[in-house]
A and B are shown apart, each in its own frame.
Chain A
């Protein structure tokens, strides 16, 4: 443990720490552009210069390993002069276009120029101009502003795992670009916008939309996948204008996927802002009174066992519980949250959780992916798997359709039988798995659908149990969910009761009255129910087949609880109010229950949450993950040769918000090679 002195203060830092980190430990702020905690060290901006005793000149603190007995000074005339010089050099070619730059107000260069810059320029020469680069529909470039910190290059290469951004040319003519001006293909590409310390890379959809100081910032939780990434919702007036990641080392570090960041415009499109009732085959606007009356009348005509409810992927736990209580009050057992037909068993909590934990999976030495593409099902988790793989010491193998996961994977074939063989010890990989000290299986939702779903669950459990990977401190059985609502719904028991129908049974004509709580991923073309209520935020698949539409709130418009794939209970906060007549979902259900004389026993969100804790005590402990219960689950059936399908067919279009987003549509067009706003090709210039 090196001990060194920073500005007269003695600090002890872990071995391998840099002088910059030692300075931070001593509470001294060091200006920097190229250095970033989660990227490799480049040492090319020179802004972090400090004075080191016995060194002939200032040293770059980000690249200097902290050593014993070093004496560092950060506030001497030499340091100030050095930093001022560096800043002057950086500003030689940086344009003075802050008033028209989207980074203005949250720009590292702007802030640090205030602290270290001159008040005037000594250069009369022309500034360098750099042509705009194309990086896809998400990233807007103004490369004249680039200071060549190479954070974006390092992010793409190291974290995202797509070597597509690079620095070409050299010296003053060095330019950051993608190969042949192609779009960046990563699902994490938007993070380079946050990383860029200047306004060279900014958000294309958000261009010229707002200034940072106009925005109301709300800390919330993402619902576009089941990781529950920490996000900040920036809203102005009634619109959420952008989504940014928040630091949460336990879940998303400081990255979010492109869908989380850019599907935000979908919140303002195709919204259901008033109730609708189908009259003579046509949906007509109605009042809440009329809508409730229509539902009440239909319910009256239906026998309780012919009533059913399906919870969607974006629903919060509160509204799921309210729906469950309502269905119980009506007297039906036909409820289900597994829209995709995954054969998950709600009775054993460990059987549907990502038990190793999102951070814990980094410790695994053998990982078997089954029927999953983490790159599109949980892009941020995929970056974590890549991080573990880059560090070394982990063998990753996969059963399922071959996709590019950005790390080395041994593909064992795409057939349920491969897993069967491994579980029975009849496959060479069985030995590899057994030899692992911390071996893990990650089951995608794709693996749990189809004829082999229940057996996959069983044999994955057996493989993990038999190899001794379910023990104190380590559980290698992992289910990777794709829906933010799923774990919460399973925790609350939103699955068919005894004799109740599941999703397939309800869709296939088993019920006469179906309540869809934001359920859009079901196959509505096969839906055969005489009366359908759709409660949700977007006019998507479910709303098209509905007889009554109840406008609900999107995740940015309500305070809701979500349980992520590892069982972490997190709470999202409201950033804006729902549009028009739309209401929070639990309140709609509560109001309707009173209307039919089956009043739900809670009048406020606090009472509803108290009931949630009563049902499942872990809802009372926010932001923590405890060990989950373990037991028997799955079905011991022989496995067929059927291939696994992936749960997320299209990353950009996996939920109603994303499907309503023009930005996501542009991403699809760019990926499929139909991007219209991209005129230049590599042969230009």
Chain B
């Protein structure tokens, strides 16, 4: 029934779920954006908040909690949650590594990046390491084609990768460090490699 990333092993569904005070306040703000009777429109952001509160996955209790909160049938919540690949139906690793393999990244070497992830983590696509530190996922275009190839790890983009740089990032994460996000080859954002090539005479503030 579940799709997407598989958990490291058997797991238990928590019996109950409830937003903590901070998230409840956030949820109220989001729900208030929609007219009365249309609260269901808030389902996607609320699922995201619930997933973050649960450590990266959506327990059944959370979906049922949201269905009661928004006054919709549980199956309707489940339909939405299962539609989006960003929602996980089972516990995943601490770091969710999403490797983009769409054409631009693929042309720029995403095969090597993916292979590096597989061999470094010792898992295949849609699997979770035994220590529950990493989950690996293959995703479609994340919109960072200028900096291809790239991976998304939790909320951060790591761009302009090679197999070695991918290894280094994963090693750093495994040591508990937080490697700097963004381009890994020294370029600034998505500017040309080696510095600007146009508008070079323009000074900031002029």
Chain A positions near chain B (C-beta within 8 angstroms): 131, 163-170, 173, 175, 177-181, 682-685
Question: Whole-angstrom distance between the alpha carbons of A170 and B81 in the complex?
Answer: 11
Q: Mark B1-20, 1 if CB is under 8 A from A, else 0.
A: 11100000000010000000
Q: Is B79 located at the chain interface by the 8 A CB criterion?
A: yes
- B3 lies within 8 A of A173 (CB): yes
The 4 closest A-B pairs by CB, nearest first: A163-B73, A166-B75, A168-B82, A179-B75
Task: Report B-chain residues with C-beta under 8 Å of the C-beta of A178.
Answer: 75
Q: Is B120 located at the chain interface by the 8 A CB criterion?
A: no
B window 16-70: CB within 8 A of A: 60
The number of chain B residues touching the other chain, given as a range, is 10 to 19
- A164 lies within 8 A of B3 (CB): no
Q: Is B76 located at the chain interface by the 8 A CB criterion?
A: yes
Given contacts A180-B60, A682-B60, A683-B13, A166 and B78 within 8 Å (CB-CB) = yes
Nearest CB on B from A185, distance (A): 12
Task: Report B-chain residues with C-beta under 8 Å of the C-beta of A167.
Answer: 79
Q: Is chain A's interface secondary structure helix, strand, loop, or mixed overall?
A: mixed
Question: Whole-angstrom distance between the alpha carbons of A177 and B13 in the complex?
Answer: 20
Q: Is B74 located at the chain interface by the 8 A CB criterion?
A: yes
Given contacts A131-B1, A173-B3, A685-B2, A164 and B73 within 8 Å (CB-CB) = yes
Task: Report A-chain residues with C-beta under 8 Å of the C-beta of B73.
Answer: 163-164, 166, 179
Contact of B78 among A168, A170, A684, A685 (CB under 8 A): A168
Closest partner residue, chain A, to B85 (CB atom): A170
Give 16 A-B pairs besides A166-B73, A169-B83, A685-B1 with Cβ atoms closer than 8 angstroms: A163-B72, A163-B76, A164-B73, A164-B75, A166-B76, A167-B79, A168-B1, A168-B78, A168-B79, A168-B83, A169-B3, A175-B1, A179-B74, A179-B75, A180-B60, A682-B1
Closest partner residue, chain A, to B10 (CB atom): A683
Question: Whole-angstrom distance between the alpha carbons of A173 and B83 in the complex?
Answer: 10
Question: Whole-angstrom distance between the alpha carbons of A167 and B82 in the complex?
Answer: 9
Given contacts A163-B73, A683-B13, A179 and B78 within 8 Å (CB-CB) = yes
Most chain B CB atoms below 10 A, which of A169, A175, A685 = A169
Nearest CB on A from B64, distance (A): 9
Task: Report B-chain residues with C-beta under 8 Å of the C-beta of A163.
Answer: 72-73, 75-76
B window 85-110: CB within 8 A of A: none
Closest partner residue, chain A, to B84 (CB atom): A170
Nearest CB on B from A141, distance (A): 13
Closest partner residue, chain B, to A163 (CB atom): B73
Task: Report A-chain residues with C-beta under 8 Å of the C-beta of B76.
Answer: 163, 166
7 A-B contact pairs sorted by A residue (CB < 8 Å): A163-B73, A166-B79, A167-B79, A168-B1, A168-B83, A179-B73, A683-B13
Nearest CB on B from A410, distance (A): 18
Task: Report B-chain residues with C-beta under 8 Å of the C-beta of A173.
Answer: 3
Task: Report B-chain residues with C-beta under 8 Å of the C-beta of A166.
Answer: 73, 75-76, 78-79
Nearest CB on B from A463, distance (A): 32
Task: Report B-chain residues with C-beta under 8 Å of the C-beta of A168.
Answer: 1, 78-79, 82-83
Closest partner residue, chain A, to B13 (CB atom): A683
Task: Report A-chain residues with C-beta under 8 Å of the C-beta of B74.
Answer: 179-180
Question: Whole-angstrom distance between the alpha carbons of A164 and B74 in the complex?
Answer: 8
Closest partner residue, chain A, to B11 (CB atom): A683
Task: Report A-chain residues with C-beta under 8 Å of the C-beta of B13.
Answer: 683
Contact of B1 among A164, A165, A170, A684 (CB under 8 A): A684
Nearest CB on A from B1, distance (A): 4
Task: Report B-chain residues with C-beta under 8 Å of the C-beta of A170.
Answer: 82-83
Closest partner residue, chain B, to A157 (CB atom): B73
Task: Report A-chain residues with C-beta under 8 Å of the C-beta of B3.
Answer: 169, 173
Question: Whole-angstrom distance between the alpha carbons of A166 and B76 in the complex?
Answer: 7
Closest partner residue, chain A, to B60 (CB atom): A682
Question: Whole-angstrom distance between the alpha carbons of A685 and B75 in the complex?
Answer: 17
Task: Report A-chain residues with C-beta under 8 Å of the C-beta of B60.
Answer: 180, 682
Question: Whole-angstrom distance between the alpha carbons of A165 and B79 in the complex?
Answer: 10
- A169 lies within 8 A of B82 (CB): yes
